Amino acid sequence: MADQVIVKPKPGSDASPPDSEHENQAANSSRSQALVLCATGLAISFFLPWANFFGARLSGFDLQKLGDLHRLLWLIPVFSVITVIAGITRRGQCIAGQLTGIFPFVVGIYWYTKLGNDMRHLLTYGVYLSLVFGAALFVLARKLK
């Protein structure tokens, strides 16, 4: 009989990646989907009531009509759409998600400097939802690789 040659592959040179890589890819895919959901929720919360002025419930859309500086509120839904598109194309979602998540807090800080402690009495659930979605976007985007 002829001598048999047995070739053993080197460790780590398998064609299929290790299980940990599959787990990382699955976790990133889940985070990416969660980012898309949070960005969509943030865009929707832009149109929900944010403030209660003398019985009138004003959304972020209504508030942006009040002046030129308030037009910056449009950055929230615009960057939400950018984050969703980045999630679909799987490019740049980390940066877009972090920027989108920061905007509701920037708006909140701006309003706090203008209104002070009276701000808590004026805010409604739209603001709180946008802050929750913004925080989730920021945290999830930081964990995305």
State phi, psi for 5 to the nearest 5 degrees: -105, 125
* CA atoms within 13 Å, Cβ hemisphere of 140: 26
Domain ranges of the chain: 26-143
- CATH code for the domain defined by 26-143: 1.20.1270
| DSSP secondary structure letters along 19-36 | HHHHHHHHHHHHHHHHHH
| pLDDT tens per residue across span 28-72 | 677 788 888 999 999 999 888 877 777 777 777 777 777 766 667
Q: Which of 81, 78, 73 is nearest to 110 (CA)?
A: 73
Q: H helices of 2-124, where? A: 19-45, 60-63, 75-89, 93-115, 119-122
pTM: 0.73
Given this model, what pLDDT does residue 17 score?
Answer: 53
- Left (φ > 0), alpha (ψ -120 to 50) or beta: where does 10 sit? beta
What's the rounded Cα separation, in Å, for the pair 36 and 83? 7
What's the rounded Cα separation, in Å, for the pair 110 and 64? 14
| pLDDT tens per residue across span 60-110 | 777 777 776 666 788 888 899 999 998 888 788 888 889 999 988 988 888
Q: Which two tokens stand for residue 117?
A: 């402690």
Within 10 Å of residue 24's Cβ, how many Cβ atoms? 13
